[in-house]
Chain A
């Protein structure tokens, strides 16, 4: 095994993670959650048009490959006169994708809060919006941490697809070193290891968050 190659390539790969993968993940996830909340509330709303639009959105996002979504935005849109550069393209594609999946998680979490909580909130005079914000969403948040963590961890790995639309991130750095050296095994295993380490940290973060939110749950 070529340890010298591992040593010299580690820095560019980690830099790709820090400057590419991680910010891409964070931006896409934050935006994706915002989309998901809106879509989930639309699906739960009594306005049938809003609910139908939300259902169609989730159906399209979940029914088509992420790679295809990415290519439609980056390679497809320019042919109808809309050119978006690599980074924004990636963020749009990933956040829309997260939005579709996380919407279902958030919808289920909201529905899992007992009806009596809505009633108690209304009893103290709250409107639907205030009840949602103060009473329902905080409880739904606890329920959705494990499934949303799944989505988040999947997203970290899915961002490697952005290498295919020229975003400089972890995997593209690895590819660019691998190609001229021919050491595909070393570089790709190295890239895999860096992804794994990132996900280890995220899993630890998930456990901490769950413990923190657990303080009001009976055991």
Chain B
């Protein structure tokens, strides 16, 4: 493929000057972010640092107060001034989110959870959506559980369904919001290995996580945030291995020595 070289360097997702306040609390103060096609960026930082809010802005679950988000060169949404609903919908269409608490639809089977968006929203033929869902479920080891209801699955299985539901939307960017922090420790590995496989396949991802060892392995850039600003960014072994800023050092130390 002749376009490979180029597509691997051009940014797929660019965020610049992103601002957001809740009431008089400023949670994002001018955030910049760049994710190249096929790249994996890990957002780390203490709770309340704004990292989840960045992710939610990317999926239009929050509307930023200012700044700009560009996806794939073709779509730029400017949040300075009034943002129309169509732009927010277009932005949302380009990404898909995996939630911390899975947020599966409890009244639908696993298969229905996965096909709901493609069939009801994207208007794809049901048979085609089901075939794709079954293929994706088989890939994460849930090929036999299509007829189960979410409550019949373990947390790790539910989160894998959450990942498949996101994949079925065929997004350009996958967003993970602390995908393993609600899981029992012994179930974390299954979910992380699925995410690792997706990155190896070339999916573009932004991951909010507290699993620093995982971030080191899967991310090609780590962005450390605190109090609504990016404190430090760079290669994982630098930011997490020998951070230059005191706040990053403290955070990494605290996560490594939990007791």
Q: Which residues of A contact B (CB under 8 A)?
A: 114, 116-117, 119-126, 130, 134-135, 138-139, 142, 215-218
**A114, A122, A216: the one within 8 Å of B60 (CB):** A122
Q: Give 21 CB contacts A-B under 8 Å.
A: A114-B103, A116-B99, A116-B103, A117-B105, A119-B61, A119-B97, A119-B103, A120-B99, A120-B103, A120-B104, A121-B105, A122-B60, A123-B96, A123-B99, A123-B169, A124-B117, A124-B169, A125-B122, A134-B116, A139-B107, A216-B107
By beta carbon, the residue of chain A nearest B114 is: A124
* Chain B residues within 8 Å of A135, by CB: 105
- For the complex formed, measure the closest distance between the CB of B59 and the CB atoms of chain A, giving whole angstroms: 6
B251 at the interface (CB under 8 A from A): no
* Chain B residues within 8 Å of A142, by CB: 107
Q: Which residues of B contact A (CB under 8 A)?
A: 59-61, 89, 92-93, 96-97, 99, 101, 103-108, 116-117, 120-122, 149-151, 165-166, 169
- Report whether over half of chain A's contact residues are helix, strand or loop; otherwise say mixed: helix
Q: Whole-angstrom distance between the alpha carbons of A142 and B149 in the complex?
A: 16
- For the complex formed, measure the closest distance between the CB of B166 and the CB atoms of chain A, giving whole angstroms: 8
- For the complex formed, measure the closest distance between the CB of B54 and the CB atoms of chain A, giving whole angstroms: 15
- For the complex formed, measure the closest distance between the CB of B105 and the CB atoms of chain A, giving whole angstroms: 6
Q: Whole-angstrom distance between the alpha carbons of A135 and B59 in the complex?
A: 19
* Chain B residues within 8 Å of A134, by CB: 116, 120
- For the complex formed, measure the closest distance between the CB of B174 and the CB atoms of chain A, giving whole angstroms: 11
* Chain A residues within 8 Å of B101, by CB: 116
Q: Whole-angstrom distance between the alpha carbons of A114 and B122 in the complex?
A: 25
By beta carbon, the residue of chain B nearest A117 is: B103
By beta carbon, the residue of chain B nearest A142 is: B107
Interchain residue pairs A-B with the least CB separation, the first 8: A124-B117, A218-B151, A125-B121, A120-B103, A116-B103, A216-B149, A123-B97, A216-B107
Q: Whole-angstrom distance between the alpha carbons of A121 and B103 in the complex?
A: 9
- For the complex formed, measure the closest distance between the CB of B26 and the CB atoms of chain A, giving whole angstroms: 22
By beta carbon, the residue of chain A nearest B105 is: A135
Taking a contact as CB atoms under 8 Å apart, the answer to whether B92 and A138 are in contact is: no
* Chain A residues within 8 Å of B104, by CB: 120
Taking a contact as CB atoms under 8 Å apart, the answer to whether A217 and B151 are in contact is: yes
Q: Whole-angstrom distance between the alpha carbons of A217 and B165 in the complex?
A: 20
Q: A134-B116, A134-B120, A217-B151 are in contact. Are A123 and B107 (CB under 8 A)?
A: no
Q: A125-B92, A130-B120 are in contact. Are A139 and B106 (CB under 8 A)?
A: yes
By beta carbon, the residue of chain A nearest B100 is: A116
Q: A119-B99, A139-B107 are in contact. Are A215 and B120 (CB under 8 A)?
A: no
Q: Whole-angstrom distance between the alpha carbons of A184 and B86 in the complex?
A: 69
By beta carbon, the residue of chain B nearest A135 is: B105
**A119, A120, A125, A138: the one within 8 Å of B107 (CB):** A138
- For the complex formed, measure the closest distance between the CB of A145 and the CB atoms of chain B, giving whole angstroms: 13
By beta carbon, the residue of chain A nearest B89 is: A125
By beta carbon, the residue of chain A nearest B98 is: A123
- For the complex formed, measure the closest distance between the CB of A203 and the CB atoms of chain B, giving whole angstroms: 24
Taking a contact as CB atoms under 8 Å apart, the answer to whether B121 and A124 are in contact is: yes
- For the complex formed, measure the closest distance between the CB of B227 and the CB atoms of chain A, giving whole angstroms: 24
By beta carbon, the residue of chain A nearest B85 is: A127
Q: Whole-angstrom distance between the alpha carbons of A116 and B97 in the complex?
A: 12
- For the complex formed, measure the closest distance between the CB of B6 and the CB atoms of chain A, giving whole angstroms: 30
Taking a contact as CB atoms under 8 Å apart, the answer to whether A126 and B105 are in contact is: no
Taking a contact as CB atoms under 8 Å apart, the answer to whether A123 and B92 are in contact is: yes
- For the complex formed, measure the closest distance between the CB of A161 and the CB atoms of chain B, giving whole angstroms: 37
Besides A121-B105, A125-B93, 12 new A-B residue pairs in contact (Cβ under 8 A), listed by A number: A119-B97, A120-B99, A120-B103, A122-B59, A124-B169, A125-B169, A126-B121, A134-B116, A216-B106, A216-B108, A216-B150, A216-B151
By beta carbon, the residue of chain A nearest B121 is: A125
* Chain A residues within 8 Å of B92, by CB: 122-123, 125
Taking a contact as CB atoms under 8 Å apart, the answer to whether B106 and A124 are in contact is: no
Q: Whole-angstrom distance between the alpha carbons of A123 and B105 in the complex?
A: 12
Most buried by B among A121, A124, A135, A138: A124
Taking a contact as CB atoms under 8 Å apart, the answer to whether A124 and B151 are in contact is: no
Taking a contact as CB atoms under 8 Å apart, the answer to whether A126 and B107 are in contact is: no
Taking a contact as CB atoms under 8 Å apart, the answer to whether A217 and B121 are in contact is: no
Q: Whole-angstrom distance between the alpha carbons of A218 and B120 in the complex?
A: 26
By beta carbon, the residue of chain A nearest B162 is: A120
Taking a contact as CB atoms under 8 Å apart, the answer to whether B61 and A217 are in contact is: no
